[in-house]
Amino acid sequence: MRRSEAVALLTCAFLASPTGVRGQGRTKLRVGANPGESLAEGLLAVEGGFFSKAGIDAELVTVTNGGAMTAGIVSGAIDIGPSNVASISAAYVRGLQLNLFAPSVLVSARAPATTMIAVLKDSPLQQAKDFNGKTFALSTVRDLQQAAVMTWMDKNGGDSKTATFVEIPNPEQLAALRAKRVDVAVLVEPFLGAARNDVRLVARPYSSLGSQLMTFGWIANKNWYDSNPALVRKVTEIISATARWANRNHDATAAIISNVSKVPKETFLTMNRQVYAEGKLDASIIQPIIDASAHYGFLTRNFPAPELFAPNAG
For the segment 162-208, what is each residue's pLDDT rounded down to a tens digit? 999 999 988 899 999 999 999 999 999 888 988 989 999 999 999 99
For residues 59-86, one letter each, b for 16 or more C-beta atoms within 10 angstroms of the residue's C-beta and e for the rest, the string is bbbbbbbbbbbbbbbbeeebbbbbbbbb
Task: Indicate whether 247 belongs to any domain.
Answer: yes
pLDDT in tens, 34-72: 888 899 999 999 999 999 999 999 999 999 888 889 999
Q: Which residue range is the domain that position 30 belongs to?
A: 3-108+212-308
- What pLDDT does 307 receive? 96
pLDDT in tens, 7-33: 444 444 444 343 433 445 689 999 999
Please indicate, yes or no, whether residues 287 and 235 belong to a single structural domain of this protein: yes
Please indicate, yes or no, whether residues 10 and 94 belong to a single structural domain of this protein: yes
Task: Indicate whether 314 belongs to any domain.
Answer: no
Q: CATH number of the domain at 160, please.
A: 3.40.190.10
Number of folded domains in the chain? Answer: 2
d(CA 63, CA 70): 10
Question: What separation in angstroms does the CA of 244 have from each of 49, 151, 182, 247, 303?
Answer: 14, 32, 39, 6, 31
- What pLDDT does 25 receive? 60
Task: Indicate whether 159 belongs to any domain.
Answer: yes
Cβ-in-10-Å burial (0-12, 13-18, 19+) of 5 comes to exposed
Please indicate, yes or no, whether residues 136 and 162 belong to a single structural domain of this protein: yes
Please indicate, yes or no, whether residues 98 and 240 belong to a single structural domain of this protein: yes
Please indicate, yes or no, whether residues 92 and 54 belong to a single structural domain of this protein: yes
